[in-house]
Amino acid sequence: MRSKAYRRRVAELPCARCGLEGHSQAAHPNSLALGKGIGLKADDFQCVPLCADLPGVLGCHSAWDRHMVAPKHERSGIWARWVSWTRAALLNEEGAHRGGEAERGGVNV
C-alpha cells in the first residue's frame, strides 16, 4: 500500500536508530518477507524514520541499506521493533520527541 501522507508523517519523527531530529526519511524495509522485491518497495506502513546523509556523515538510512548496522540474523527483529516504535510515536506525538534508546525500541546499534 502507498501513502504519501503516512511517509511524510514518518519522516517528521526523529531517527529510530540514533534519535537525530529534523533529518529523517521514511525508510522502507529491504526484506522479501515484508514485500520487497525486484522493482518493488515494501508497504509504506512498514516504513520507519531513519536519518539522511549529512555532509561528511553517513546517515542511518544509508548505513542500514548498506547492511552496516547489524548482522543479517538480527535485522528483522530490529526492524520490527522500529516499526512498533514508529506506530506508537505516530499515535502519541509527544512520546516520539522524548528521544532516548528505550523510546526508540531499545535498539541503538
Domain region containing 13: 4-96
Answer yes or no: is 101 within a domain.
no
Which of 69, 56, 3, 57 has the alpha carbon at shortest distance from 30?
A: 69
Q: Are 13 and 26 in contact (CB under 8 A)?
A: no
Answer yes or no: is 105 within a domain.
no
Answer yes or no: is 103 within a domain.
no
Answer yes or no: is 73 within a domain.
yes
Q: Is the pLDDT score of 10 beyond 90?
A: yes
Looking at per-residue pLDDT, the higher value among 4 and 38 belongs to 4
Q: Are 6 and 83 in contact (CB under 8 A)?
A: no
Residue 38: the pLDDT is 54
Distance CA 33, CA 18 (A): 25
Q: Is the pLDDT score of 35 beyond 80?
A: no
Mean pLDDT over each residue of the chain, to the nearest integer: 82
Answer yes or no: is 102 within a domain.
no
Question: Hey, what's the cell of 35?
Answer: 514485500
SS3 43: coil
* Overall number of domains in the chain: 1
Question: Hey, what's the cell of 58?
Answer: 553517513
Answer yes or no: is 104 within a domain.
no
pLDDT band (50, 70, 90) for residue 104: low
Answer yes or no: is 27 within a domain.
yes
Answer yes or no: is 25 within a domain.
yes
